[in-house]
Amino acid sequence: MNKVKSIKNICCIGAGYVGGPTMAVIAQKCPHINVHVVDLNEQRIADWNDADLDKLPIYEPGLAEVVAEARGRNLKFSTDVEKAIDEAELIFISVNTPTKTYGVGKGMAADLKFIELCARQIAKVAKDDKIIVEKSTLPVRTAEALRTILHSTGNGVKFEILSSPEFLAEGTAIQDLHNPDRFLIGGAPTESGEAAVQALVDVYLNWVPRENIVTTRVWSSELSKLTANAFLAQRVSSINAISALCEKTGADVDEIAHAIGKDSRIGAKFLKSSVGFGGSCFQKDILNLVYLCRHFNLPEVADYWEQVIKMNDYQKHRFSKNIIDTLFNTVSGKKIAFLGWAFKKDTNDTRESAAIYVADELLQDRAEIHVYDPKVSEEQIYADLEYLQTNRRPQTVIASETKQSVEYSTLSMEEIRSLVTVHKDPYTAMESAHAIAVLTEWDEFKTYDWGKVYNEMLKPAFVFDGRNIVDKDQLDVIGFEIYNIGKGN
Ligand code: NAD
Ligand code: UGA
């Protein structure tokens, strides 16, 4: 495989939050390339193929338009994994790589069983040479393991393995894919490795300027992805750490973020204090980084990055504890309205959302939680809470804060359903609530008629704003008592 291959058929294994939007944009920008996205999940594929674009399995601004343009032309979704592998010259692996929940590395390491399965399937099906691209986020040196599996059949088929991690953020996926800060490609420093890199560069060049396509060795590319997420999460934990100090001192965390963000060496982005970062990747990727550091006997480096997670646990706990403390040390039987459940605005994704953890802590005290989120389904909310009952990570920070170990009881599905109500209307969620907690920064929350909420909804007295999006001065005047993250009195 020494010549630069011109790619005509792409396969992507995994039609999730990365595979779906990324391949839709490749198909949109490269009408001369057939893009076949496959998944084992039949429902997900059926949803990608639904004529009603509102039913796509992922909500992302702009995604429906891109799918409408390319689907049926050169973009196809199916469950026929073997056919897609067979036909493609280039295969993206975009399957999930969650934190392991069993065995060696439980709770820390990335679970690579889905990746391994893909490699075995490719090895079994492939009849001609192929370029395999790691799109999933993987521990450094995974390409080595892939190479071993792929070449284990001894049938003479050659595979060139590239790493091209994805940096899109949910809620802005299409914008990020259309105008990426950079696309990254890692390849082997061999003639065939360089040819494979060039083949993928040529795909991206259809819409991305060459200077925005960075090429490195494979290991650097793999580790760049974990590093980028660790740095981004670290900024959120850093500003959240300062938010705790602001609340004690009367300083305003948003003013601080603005002031320090003006320093071009620091930069203004990713300095928004919050109830804690969520999403499927920050925590998972840092835990994976910590695991790798411990594996390579670098305990100081591991402890350094682990602190980013501990600070995030602390922030979520601080928020729930403030609600309980303020409501006279118990929320038992009290109605708490949750505005937002998604881990950030403009997505229906709830993975690791801070709302789940805040709810869980309030439910331990038997609060009655009433949730409104514009994009998250009722079943998803119950599923998130049910999953957590048997999958809690040990949160050492909670024990150190209260100087005692915290015994969580496991709630049954019946208990969860009796304590949690999901609303389609925000005003019914807030009606007669003892407190309102803002968990996601949906724009529509800024537009609510707070006078009506206060005067006609039986005066919910307290607003706990975990996103600093409602106007404190306006709400104070109406009569609410408002607690903002990082704003002292
Ligand atoms: P996801 O869970 O939304 O999608 C993964 C899909 O892969 C699922 O639909 C699953 O059914 C499918 N799958 C698993 N094994 C399969 C197999 N053997 N054959 C066919 N299909 C299979 O996950 P995601 O959010 O798209 O993340 C995928 C990877 O991308 C992860 O490594 C993640 O860390 C990384 N990533 C995610 C984001 C993000 O915003 N979500 C951003 C950058 C990178
Ligand atoms: C993040 C990265 O931004 C992407 O580059 C990366 O590709 C992706 O992870 C991934 O690997 O999965 P994502 O998790 O989708 O993207 O969304 P972010 O915008 O990074 O937000 C993550 C969390 O941090 C959210 O809960 C958000 O509310 C929170 N956050 C973000 C803050 O609390 N403050 C900020 O200033 C920024």
Dist. CA 460 → ligand 2 center (Å): 31
| Closest residue by CA, ligand 1 atom 28 | 96
Q: What is the mean pLDDT of the chain?
A: 94
Question: Which SS3 state, helix, strand or coil, does residue 58 take?
Answer: coil
Dist. CA 249 → ligand 1 center (Å): 43
Return the bridge partners of 185, or none.
215
Tokens 């909310």 sit at which residue? 381
pLDDT one-digit tens code per residue, 58-73: 999 999 999 999 999 9
pLDDT of residue 477: 85
| Closest residue by CA, ligand 2 atom 23 | 277
Q: What kind and span of H or E run contains 92? A: strand 90-93
Work out the burial of residue 42: count CB atoms within 10 Å of its CB; fewer than 13 is exposed, 13-18 middle, 19 or more buried: exposed
Quick check: 107 pLDDT over 70?
yes
Range list of H helices, 32-169: 42-48, 63-70, 81-87, 113-125, 142-150
User: How big is the chain by its Cα radius of gyration, in Å?
Assistant: 24
Quick check: 197 pLDDT over 80?
yes
Distance CA 87, CA 128 (A): 9
Q: Is 250 left (phi over 0), alpha (psi -120 to 50) or beta?
A: left
Contact 110 CB / ligand 1 (< 6 Å): no
pLDDT one-digit tens code per residue, 344-369: 999 999 999 999 999 999 999 999 99
Q: What percent of the chain has pLDDT over 90?
A: 87
| Ligand located closest to 230 CA | 2
CB 180 within 8 A of CB 151: no
Quick check: 480 pLDDT over 60?
yes
Question: Which SS3 state, helix, strand or coil, does residue 143 take?
Answer: helix
Question: Among this protein's residues, is 281 annotated catalytic?
Answer: yes
pLDDT one-digit tens code per residue, 276-309: 999 999 999 999 999 999 999 999 999 999 999 9
Question: Among this protein's residues, is 166 annotated catalytic?
Answer: yes
pLDDT of residue 391: 85
Ligand 2, CB cutoff 6 Å, lining residues? 137, 166-170, 229, 232, 236, 270-272, 274, 277-282, 343-344
Q: Once rounded to an integer, what is the mean pLDDT over residues 89-117?
A: 94
pLDDT of residue 3: 62
Buried b (16+ CB within 10 A) or exposed e, 107-135: ebbbbbebbeebbeebbeebeeebbbbbb
Q: What percent of the chain has pLDDT over 70?
A: 95
Dist. CA 169 → ligand 1 center (Å): 14
| Closest residue by CA, ligand 2 atom 10 | 281
Distance CA 184, CA 163 (A): 8
Distance CA 61, CA 325 (A): 38
Tokens 């999953």 sit at which residue? 387
Work out the burial of residue 261: count CB atoms within 10 Å of its CB; fewer than 13 is exposed, 13-18 middle, 19 or more buried: middle
Ligand 2 atom showing the smallest separation from residue 17 Cα: 12
Tokens 């505005």 sit at which residue? 339
The angle formed by the CA atoms of residues 356, 305 and 280, to the nearest 5 degrees, is 35
CB 239 within 8 A of CB 272: yes
Range list of H helices, 403-467: 413-419, 426-430, 450-456
Dist. CA 228 → ligand 2 center (Å): 11
List, in sequence order, every beta strand (DSSP E) within 251-299: none
- Least confident stretch, 113-122, 190-199, 304-313, 447-456: 447-456
Q: Once rounded to an integer, what is the mean pLDDT over residues 215-242?
A: 98
pLDDT of residue 153: 81
pLDDT of residue 413: 95
Tokens describing residue 307:
């602190």
What is the phi/psi pair of residue 13, to 5°?
-95, 115
Q: Tell how strand 335-339 and strand 368-372 pair up.
A: parallel
Instruction: Select from 236, 269, 376, 443 the residue to mutate for testing ligand 2; criterion: most ligand atoms less than 8 Å from CB.
Output: 236
pLDDT of residue 272: 98
List, in sequence order, every beta strand (DSSP E) within 270-374: 335-339, 368-372
pLDDT one-digit tens code per residue, 406-463: 678 899 999 999 999 999 999 999 999 999 999 999 999 999 988 888 887 666 689 9
Measured CA to CA in angstroms, residue 368 lies from 316, 336, 422, 432, 436 at distances of 19, 6, 11, 12, 12
Distance CA 441, CA 466 (A): 9
Tokens 């969580």 sit at which residue? 408
Catalytically annotated residue among 60, 89, 160, 166 = 166
What is the phi/psi pair of residue 471, to 5°?
-80, 110
Quick check: 399 pLDDT over 50?
no
Question: Among this protein's residues, is 452 annotated catalytic?
Answer: no
pLDDT one-digit tens code per residue, 16-45: 999 999 999 999 999 999 999 999 999 999
Ligand 2 atom showing the smallest separation from residue 269 Cα: 36
Contact 92 CB / ligand 1 (< 6 Å): no
In terms of pLDDT, which residue wins out, 477 or 142? 142
Quick check: 397 pLDDT over 80?
no
How crowded is residue 63: how many other Cβ atoms within 10 Å of its Cβ?
19
Tokens describing residue 128:
């001609």
Distance CA 44, CA 56 (A): 8
Range list of H helices, 169-217: 173-178, 191-204
Tokens describing residue 329:
């040390």
Predicted structure pTM score: 0.95
